[in-house]
Every structure is written in C-alpha cells, then in structure tokens.
Structure 1
Amino acid sequence: MPVAVITGGSKGLGRALALALAERGWSLVLTARGPGELAEAGRAAEGLGGVVRTVAGDVADAGHRSEVVAAARALGGVDLLVNNASALGAAPLVTLAGLGTAGLRAALETNVVAAHGLVREALPLLRAAPAGAVVSVSSDAAVEAYPAWGGYGASKAALDHWSAVLGVEEPGLRVWAVDPGDLRTELYRAAVPDDPDEAERPEPEAVVPAFLRLLDERPVSGRYTAAALLEAAADGAGR
C-alpha cells in the first residue's frame, strides 16, 4: 500500500484528505500538535480500512520531523508528503504595521522552514517511491494583496516558490502547490473571527476531489487551484 504523510492531519483539510486516502487503501502517518484530535482522526481513518500511525508534535521541531519520517519508513516509505500544517502569525490577523517580527517568524517557521525540513528528511524515501509526490497547501493570499493577510500570505508565497524550485530540482517527483480556496476551517475562523461569509464557505471535504485528481492524473509539477481542477474535472465528465 502507498504511504502518505500529512501534517496538520487532525482536522480541516488534512483530516479530510486522510479519510479520503484511507478509503483508497493508503497507509497514513498523521501529525498535528493536538494529541486528542489527532488520535480521533487516526481512529476515523482506521475505521475506513487504513493503516494509520499518529505522531503528535510540532512540525517546526526537527526531532518531531525525524519521528514522523521514521514512522513512515516503518510502514514502507513515503509516496506522498502533504505540507498542510499552517500558522497565521497572528490570530486574529493584523496589518503588517501591527504584526511583530515574532509573529512573522512563526508563520515562516511553520509554513516554509518546517516544510523544507520535512521534505529534506523524507527525500530519499520520496525518490525511492514509484510515484513520489509532494503537495504543499497554498493560499490565494500568496498571490493577492489582502489587508491583514500580509504575514501569512508572504509565507505562502515563499512556500509556492520553494515548491516550484523543488519541482525543477527533483524531476523524478511531482511537486504541487495547491490553493484550496477559502474553506470553513478553524484556521480561517481564527484569522477572521467575525467573518460574515463563514456559512457560505465550503467544507474542506468539498475540495478533496481536486487533490485526488492530482494523484490520479499526475500533471506536471506546478501551482494549481482546487477550483480549476474541479472545473476541469466537471467539464471532462460532461463531454
């Protein structure tokens, strides 16, 4: 069975992806900071037939990243690594004038540095996989100038460029940065607690088919949006 490592796998998009892959028979290594929610997500994935290992901890910690990769190695390797764990830098979000350097550093540490460290640790296993892939969850804030989203957006822009370079340097892998769109998640709620449009935002499960399409069709490495992937799939089904 292929093995996926998913950071931020206890809730939101990470949990939704984990359940979808478990239904497909994947083995999973899930990591997140909250051990209770992580254990529950692991049980839910196991209930769908997946072989699951949960490793609670902070992906920004190098020792924790080593534990995660060791757990994947014990399951047979790493076929897919999903950099989903994210930090806002400030919650609720603030303007750049109000964002301290510690907040910006925290966003960069989790969203970029930790992703880099985890991929470096897992790279030999990804290269050895028959179809190794890295997915980094991006944001429209990486390409649009939204007030108060500057720190988070800068970290996601850096993650996008890092992913693009990795895709060039590792032609044997697929490296995709994916903007899932605005979803109804705890992260978004923490960023914008009084969001009047929250009820209109889709649940994370709604965009999971876009990620599965990447795995099924393996397009070239690059940046994708879930909306475009879902639209293309709908157009293809309608022909």
Structure 2
Amino acid sequence: MTDMTAIVTGAGQGFGLALTAALAARGTTVFACARDGGRLRAATAGLPGVVALPGDVTDPRFRKELVSAAGRLDLLVHNAGELGPSPLPVLGRYPLDALRGVLETTVLAPLALTQLALPLLRASATGTVITLSSDAAVEAYPGWGGYGSSKAALDQLAAVLAVEEPALRVYAFDPGDMRTAMHQRAFPGEDISDRPEPESVTPALLRLLDRRPESGRYRAADLSDGAPTPGAGATAQPAGSTT
C-alpha cells in the first residue's frame, strides 16, 4: 500500500509523527493533524506529500475540514489520544471531568471522524482503519483505569466496526512500550530511555498494512519481519508497561 491517501491524527510527535514520515517515504499522501500547529508544521516540514492540518479532533468543524481536505481516503489512523492526569490517579480519586476529556479524545472523536470518513473509505479498494491500542486496554495496571478503559472502549469500537464494515480492514494496533512524551508523563521523574523509539515500531504497522490480514487486534511484537501474521482477533498478551 504505497500509492494511497491517509489521515493520521496526533501526528506532531511520537508514534504519529514516525508513522507519518514512514508513510510519506513510501509515496503516500498524508494529511497529518495535531493540536499544536507550530510543532506539527516544524515536524513535518520537508516530508514529501505531507499536508499539515493543525486542529483538534474533538472539534466537529475541524473533523469535517480534515475529511474534506483529503478528498479521497485509503487509510485512517486514529493515533491521537489523551493520557489524563499526571501522576496517574487511582480510580477512587479519579477526577470525573478529566475522565470525560480522556473519553472525548480517545473514543468519541475517533468514532465521529470515522463516521465522516466512511464514504471515502468504502470507495477505496484498500479502505483501512487503524486504532492505536495499548496493553492497558487488556491488563489491569494500578493508576491506568482511565486511560485503559478508554483504550478498551476503542478496541471494542474497532471490533464492532470490522463486523459492520466487512469490506474494510479495521485493525486495533498495540505498539507496546515506546519512548514518547505521553509515556514520560505517565512516569514523571523516571528514566524511560530503555523504551524503544517510535521509529523502531513503525515497520510492524507497515507490515500489517502490506499483509492485509483479516480485521482484528494485533501487537507489534507479533509482527516481526519474516514472522507469520497472527490470527485476527487474538487476545493481546502483557507487553510490559503501557504505550
């Protein structure tokens, strides 16, 4: 999948930026969005075929502008997400307003954007939706109740969408631990330099796109070069900490 058009949310840094660069290197036209316009433009400057569109995916007007700008669409990547408060609070003290924000960004906005993009994805011969998952969606880590529940909900949306739209490929992709700003916020003051850089994880997602297995939930750890693609819908195993 090289000659295609993609939308990548949360593309100003971390995994979203790494994936945007990797797709652009393949000749994909990428509409990259992020809330911080200055950082997004600086990060994507010079990347061939990348159109930087600053905006917040929780804004209905921006979602319409994003889909309209793309015009056609083969790949929609829901990478934007919200960690919640840092340090991570236990559920017994979790601020409900903060949880609403996490769910708005991580669950509701991706669904709303997908709804707008479905006609374009259905018209593509390779229409694909990818949601970024986490081991926190399937494992119970203290302090991760807000973020983990939002990712679990996103996993379920992807699973149901795959059943409702059998002509599309819908993947929940768990990248595993990465050295990102969000991950650092989850562990304030700790050294996370042992986590892999996002650029080292993007090849796994590209292999998923190239192989186009059945819709389902896939872990980067199971998509190593040369390894057979695991069966669709396999339950993720603990990947250490969270993404």
TM-score calculated relative to the size of structure 1:
0.92
Secondary structure of the 1:223 match is strand
Q: How far apart in 2 are the matches of 1:122 and 1:164?
A: 17
Give the equivalent residue in structure 2 for 1:186.
Answer: 181
Matches within 5 A, 1:54-203: 54-73=52-71, 77-196=72-191, 198-203=192-197
Structure 2: tracts of 5 or more residues without a match = 229-243
Distance in 2, Cα, partners of 1:163 & 1:56: 25
Alpha-carbon displacement from aligned partner over 1:119-177 (angstroms, at most 9, x marks no partner): 00100000001100000000000000001010000000000000000000000000000
Give CA-to-partner distance per residue, 1:37-85, whole Å, 9 cap, x none.
1102221422xxxx22211111111111111111111xxx110000000
Work out whether 1:218 is the aligned partner of 2:215. no
Regions of 4+ moved over 6 Å? none
Offset from partner CA, 1:198-219 (integer Å, 9 cap, x none): 1110000111011101110101
Deviation at 1:92, TM superposition (A): 2.5
Q: Secondary structure at the match of 1:176?
A: strand
Task: State the SS of the aligned residue for 2:51.
Answer: strand
1:35 equivalent among 31, 34, 37: 37
Letter of the 2:140 counterpart? A
Gaps of 5+ in 1: none
The aligned residue for residue 17 of structure 1 is 19
Following superposition, the deviation at residue 11 of structure 1 comes to 0.6
Q: Secondary structure at the match of 1:6?
A: strand
Which amino acid is 2:105 matched to? Answer: T
Distance 1:235 1:31 in 2: 32
Change (3 A) 1:90 1:131: same
SS in 2 for 1:134: strand
Query: What RMSD over aligned residues (CA atoms) do the two structures have, in Å?
Result: 1.1
Q: State the 1:195 CA deviation.
A: 2.8
TM-score by length of 2: 0.90
CA distance in 2, matches of 1:100, 1:165: 29
| Secondary structure, counterpart of 2:157 in structure 1 | helix
Residue 120 of structure 2 aligns to which amino acid in structure 1? L
CA displacement at 1:89 relative to structure 2: 1.9
Matching residue within 197, 205, 209 for 2:203: 209
- How high is the sequence identity, in percent, across the aligned residues? 52
Alignment size in residue pairs: 226
